[in-house]
Structure 1
Amino acid sequence: MARDLAPEVERLLQFRDPNIRKKAALCSIRIIKKVPDLAENFINPTASLLKEKHHGVLITGIQLCTDLCKISPEALEHFRKKCTEGLVKTLKDVVNSPYAPEYDIAGITDPFLHIRLLRLLRVLGQGDAYASDCMNDILAQVATKTESNKNAGNAILYECVETIMSIEDNGGLRVLAINILGRFLSNRDNNIRYVALNMLTKAIIVDAQAVQRHRTTILECVKDSDASIRKRALELVYLLVNETNVKPLTKELIDYLEVSEQDFKGDLTAKICSIVEKFSPDKIWYIDQMLKVLSQAGNFVKGEVCNALIVVISNAPDLHGYTVRALYRAFQASSEQESLVRVAVWCIGEYGDLLINNTGMLNIEDPLMVTESEAVDVVETAMKRHSSDLTTKSMALIALLKLSSRFPSCSERIREIIIQHKGNFVLELQQRSIEFNSILEKHKDIRSALVERIPVLDEATFSGRKASSVSASPASSLKVPNGTAKPASPLVDLLDLSSDDTPAPSSSTGDFLQDLLGVDLAPSSGPSSTNQATKTGADALLDLLSIGSASVQSSSPGIDIFSLGQDKFPPVTTFDGLASPSSLPAPVAAPILDLLGGLISSPLPPENNGTSPAYPSIVAFESSNLRINFSFSKPPGNPQATEIQATFSNLSQNDYADFIFQAAVPKFLQLHLEPASSNSLPAGGKETVKQTLRVTNSQHGKKSLVMRIRIAYKMNGKDMLEEGQINRFPHGL
């Protein structure tokens, strides 16, 4: 019907009666939306409508022209060349026209026509320097001459700002537009302030420096009584933060955190923590700000933020004493904040001796006199808090075990506190209490080795793997200077800060570190980062604790520390010394000391002589330039693990340089990439590059393997990127 009627409607666009022309233009808009193919038929008639004097016909003609430009590139190009100057003249006439009662609204001549013209100019100027240059002067006139004390004037100013920000670059105009938005922020109307904040959020991408000038006004909006304005202003402040202004902005937000409403504290706390992590200039400032947040809103701080703080503390040996004293003071002042209690208990357990001896005093702090008994009081208070959850109480028990070695004079008191939970209804606390009591009573000779300080966790690995684990959504990584890595201690403290939904542990080092500190350490997708993680302590931890390797045993007697049945606390075995896998002797049956009994014989499990089933090779990915083949094998006795041999072939006639293969997997999979055999791939498939991938499926038998891949390389000096998803893995992997 639209096709049949279109010629008649086109004819009516030239009709004498202006009301008929207006209706015909409205009908044309509906026709081209229904049948975009007919757009070219209306280009010339619409151009004639733009010269109309009757405002009704002119408004509908401008709207028809705008819709044609959005539908048809040919129409857009035609109107840019033929009509831009005429539209600028029309807008100038409307802006400078004398008072006309039939068009006047609040002293402004036809604001509806103003807005339609500005929107059409925005479409014409976007991406075209000449058209943008033609309209610069009139846009400046509209921005400066329009009154802002009336709602109609504010509507025109807002559209003018939108147009200025959309057309091609003009620095002076953009500063003028952002200043208009700054005036909007001082308006008493909440709607005007809200749209100004929205527009400034877009403008910051174009001219961040101009938006920075209105930082004080934006910060005041964070404290507004309207929840929508508060939220928008907080998002804008987050975008405004950089290395130069992070300290004053963070101070303002933390000061407001103390008096903010409860329902807003969650969002505000999350933004402050993210800002501090992302832009921290040094570790001491990072620790100070996080302690302020924990003291004021610790119940709103998420577990991963506490984990990040603990990693930073462990990597700052010169700040251990300062941090534990600051946490002790904070705990005395505010012991009802759950996250603060967790971090304080962890630090006192690790560095309690530094607290007592005032070790590592800085010039900015006063001496703190704390006795051994008072340090134990803090951990006991955390145990007895009604609001403390299972994780906090478990951490407190571990801290007490550690303090029993640090403070020999309080050993008996600590044992009495631990034994109080011997009959606890929570099995986890009951089992810890019984086993820790056994250590204190029967195994004093090994206690000091068991409770040595936790090894330093690598910050770069933590940040990279944390980002990798949330690759589906953007996340900020911790930007603080790296501490000096220390060698792994003979004992790793079993400490958990994770939530109850932590996935079951697997045999990978990343998972063990996750269990160790509740830190999400999913493997990084690039081979270089994976290799780096392996070299910075992962192998040492594997050798130290014999995680996931039944065949790697030490010839010296081992000690079974915790045989806990829950996912969050995996079995850990510690040995007297460190060794690399290649230097370990052949497997032998070693006597194991049972904490609740005596020496028992623990022979090695029988070897699995069965052969793993063969799986067919697949072409995992193929494009015009590249083919990837996967072949599979499984280690005997471990159905969850799969080893994938990836073979890359260059199908083009050009050599590839800087060849990098990356992969990402869902949460239930763990992925480890070995370095590729080469970073160059010759043309024509003459030679191939090979790379080994090791995948562990914690949901084996329930969920199949799935993998997203990304391949980057240079061809003739040009960067190339190919991506894909692999779903069709052989059944049973």
Structure 2
Amino acid sequence: MSKFTTNGIFVFDKIFFEQLLQKWTVGVVRNLRDLTNSPYSPEYDIAGITDPFLHIRLLKLLRVLGEGDADASDSMNDILAQVATKTESNKVAGNAILYECVQTIMSVEDNGGLRVLAINILGRFLSNRDNNIRYVALNMLMKAVTVDAQAVQRHRTTILECVKDLDASIRKRALELVYVLVNETNVKPLAKELIDFLEVSDYDFREDLTAKICSIVAKFSPEKIWYIDQMLKVLSEVGNFVKDEVWHALIVVISNASELHGYTVRALYKAFQTSAEQEILVRVTVWCIGEYGDMLVNNVGMLDIEDPITVTESDAVDVVEIAIKRHASDLTTKAMALVALLKLSSHFHSCSVRIKEIIVAFKGDFVLELQQRSIEFNSIIAKHQNIRSTLVERMPVLDETTFVGRRAGSLPGTASTTTTPSVSLPNGVAKPVAPLVDLLDLSSDDAPAPSSSGGDLLHDLLGVDLSPASQQSGAGQTFKNGPDVLLDLLSMGSPSAPSSSSTVDILSSSASNGAPVSPLNDLSSLSLSSRATSNAGAAPMMDLLDGFPPNPSTENNGPAHPPITAFENSHLRLTFDFSKQPGNPQTTIIQATFMNLSTDAYTDFVFQAAVPKFLQLQLDPASSNTLPAAGNGSIMQNLKVTNSQHGKKSLVMRIRIAYKINGKDTLEEGQINNFPRGL
């Protein structure tokens, strides 16, 4: 059954080796059984257990023999069960044997009954007074939960008690275990226990506990109203420990829950009365009052579970005024409060004078961002009543599905995607990126320079990584019903250049040299310094503030540029034709033509684009949202691009094409770098 090789090395054949292992296993099991059942022997007795050191060595040997061997594991089941049940756990020696026995049970081949017995032993360890034993048990349960989560769930109550332990190491390990145990069926009781513990938890432990609670609530929330309720409890208790991406996500959920807008703003108003010291709660409250303040005052959307409250317009303004005048409020909170006041000025006519006074009070603020916002907002209130309601209308609903997908690193429901970094959704704080800061009209605490992965609404929407030559994050805008006034309000793609003029000069309708400037160019930007727009980029904003002139003629009197194939694969082709406006070499009219080369028609066809900040992009509505198959028709869409660096920098564009094939979502993305020179 064995042989020598030509070089003299002794080699066992497989059958002989298996028989040898089985023989060893039987011998070890017999010795362990004799040791377990042996009578009292004073020379080997330790705390009532005969030779615990030999017990441990035999159990370790069984672990080696049983790992990966079903037959050997089966032959040792009985003795392992006997050791687990007969060994006393009130002595250190007994606990050492039980721990080794659990290690062996979890290492040998599958036996459900033994595993449950081992996990129950660990559950008893959690009730031990010795911190070391409890910590060891938590470590073992972390490994066991991947094998038999149901058995570990039975000890959930004991594990929760360990979260409240005085020992920091045990608290942290127990919290990690609870986090793993949470699922859709037990999220409500576990979240309640953890939130209740927040109030009495140690200061050093709150950050970790808060992060875990927020993650649990967001991941397993059964309904939006429960999610909002739990997050409000967290914000009220430990709002200052909540991370930026968490409250950004909360605002995304709130904006999507249209039926809960009234309920949410009322709940935040009541929470603010008792927890105004929590900075993050103040921010979310201010944002919601700015968006849904009219619903708060008029008790819109009352639910059966609510008690009616009476809130006047003055009461709502009081909240925002308190937030903006709090000594502890930072730049982001004050900037959000100014935006909220501007929005309320369009709805709360009885408080219009008071709102204006609060805004004007910041005209001389030492923080340039607040000073600039104050002057610009005051200009809107005083001089542009005819368009103010349009400028400050409610923010569009944020795409919750896309946001969740981007947090996971990809967009859901797509057939093809590009590799892009996962970007969390900011809401006024750029640390380190702020893809939706312009959309939400908020400001950065530290206002870092824009990165290639954030800074604008459509940049975040498309997840683009624009040309490094621009050194700017992408920006663009897509319209289904033509451009509207929000294009310039949000400063999307609007070029900017440094200016030495003061903030007051920026608000004038034209500069000293006669070139028009943009009073609202920086209304929603992250810049903390005054800026004036270039001549080419200022015209759209002047149209916004001083009326809307007729569309300029698009007759092509400029030099001809050859068409290009902007995007092409096996089933889709996109071509660009170019024309110029007379007397305006910076502006290019692009006619995009989409051709379907496949045998299936494309429905719900949507084209989106993003460009660097030295470009300004405007998209007209597409000719159709259905693209016929086999080239039997096309979709036309016009783009207008203004290049503020004309003659210095070439056009570059990031595109995203979404459509459905037989009801299945498909996504195409790409970057266009082959524009003709001179555009």
TM-score (norm 2): 0.67
| 1:11-30 pair list within 5 angstroms | none
Change (3 A) 1:588 1:234: closer
Q: Which residue of 1 is the match for residue 607 of structure 2?
A: none
Shift of 1:494: 4.1
1:415 is aligned to 356
User: Paired residue for 1:461?
Assistant: 402
Aligned to 2:542: 593
Whether the aligned pair in 1 keeps the contact of 2:335 and 2:370 (CA below 8 Å) is: yes
2:505 alignment counterpart: none
Q: Which AA in structure 1 matches 2:542?
A: L
> How far apart are residue 449 of structure 1 and its match?
0.5
Question: Is 2:456 the counterpart of 1:512?
Answer: yes
Q: Give me the whole-angstrom Cα distance separating, in 1, the residues matched to 2:159 and 2:122.
A: 11
Structure-2 separation of matches of 1:299 and 1:449: 34
Q: Do the aligned residues in 1 keep the contact of 2:187 with 2:220 (CA within 8 Å)?
A: yes
Q: What does residue 426 of structure 1 align with? A: 367
RMSD (CA atoms): 5.1
1:452 to 393, 398, 411: 393
C-alpha contact 1:505 1:567 (8 A) present in aligned 2: no
**Secondary structure of the structure 2 residue equivalent to 1:205:** coil
The worse-fitting range, judged by mean Cα deviation, of 72-81 and 107-116 is: 72-81
Any residues of structure 2 matched to 1:154-553 within 5 Å, and which?
A: 154-468=95-409, 494-496=440-442, 500=446, 504=450, 512-513=456-457, 523=463, 540=480, 544=484, 547-548=492-493
Tell me which of 495, 514, 520 is aligned to 1:562.
520
1:404 Cα offset (Å): 0.1
Q: 1:258: how far off? A: 0.9
After superposition, the Cα gap between the structure-2 partners of 1:420 and 1:78, relative to the gap in structure 1 and judged at 3 Å, is farther
Structure 1's 400 and 601: CA in aligned 2 closer, same or farther, altered over 3 A? same
Which runs of no fewer than 5 residues in structure 2 stay unpaired?
1-7, 412-418, 426-437, 466-476, 496-515, 530-535, 579-585, 588-626, 628-648, 650-672, 674-679
Seen in structure 2, the aligned counterparts of structure 1 residues 438 and 567 have a Cα distance that, compared at 3 Å, is: closer
Counterpart CA distance in 2 for 1:559 and 1:73 is 86
Amino acid at match of 2:173: R
Q: Any idea what SS the aligned residue of 1:402 has? A: helix
Contact conserved, 2:384 with 2:545, CA < 8 A, in 1?
no
Tell me the equivalent position of 2:5. none
Q: CA deviation at 1:170?
A: 1.3
- Quote how far apart the aligned CAs of 1:240 are: 1.2
Looking at structure 2, the residues matched to 180 and 407 of structure 1 have their Cα atoms a distance apart, in angstroms, of: 65
Q: Structure 1's 383 and 41: CA in aligned 2 closer, same or farther, altered over 3 A?
A: farther
What is the SS of the residue equivalent to 1:259?
Answer: coil
Structure 1 segments unaligned to the other structure (5+ residues):
1-39, 45-71, 478-491, 526-536, 551-557, 572-586, 615-627, 639-676, 678-700, 702-728
Question: Secondary structure of the equivalent of 2:146?
Answer: helix
Q: Distance in 1 between matches of 2:49 and 2:559?
A: 88
Q: Which residue of 2 aligns with 1:486?
A: none
Instruction: Give percent identity, aligned residues only.
Output: 67
**Aligned-partner Cα distance in 2 for 1:260–1:521:** 39
Q: Which has the higher helix share?
A: 1
CA contact (8 A) 1:97 1:109 kept: yes
Distance 1:255 1:592, change over 3 A: closer
Aligned to 1:87: 28
Are the counterparts in 1 of residues 409 and 422 from structure 2 also a CA contact under 8 Å? Answer: no
Separation in structure 2 between the aligned mates of residue 189 and residue 497 of structure 1, nearest angstrom: 51
The superposition leaves residues 580-617 of structure 1 with CA deviations (integer Å, 9 ceiling, x where unpaired) of xxxxxxx999675278999999999x999999999xxx
**8 A Cα contact 1:404 1:414, kept in partner:** yes
Distance 2:482 2:24 in 1: 73
Q: Quick one: distance in 1 between partners of 2:70 and 2:241?
A: 49
Q: In 2 relative to 1, CA 203–402 (structure 1 residues): closer, same or farther, beyond 3 Å?
A: same
1:597/1:450 CA distance change after superposition, 3 Å? closer
1:351-402, Cα deviation, whole Å (9 max, x unpaired): 0000001111111111110110110010011101111111111111100000
Give the C-alpha shift of residue 318 in structure 1: 1.1
The alpha-carbon deviation at position 474 of structure 1 amounts to: 11
Find the counterpart in structure 2 of residue 28 from structure 1: none
C-alpha distance in structure 1 between counterparts of 2:527 and 2:482, whole Å: 17
Distance 1:566 1:612 in 2: 36
Alpha-carbon distance change, 514 to 603 in structure 1, aligned in 2, over 3 angstroms: closer
Contact 1:380 1:417 in 2 (8 A): yes
Contact residue 346 and residue 399 of structure 1 kept, 8 A: yes
Give aligned pairs, total: 529
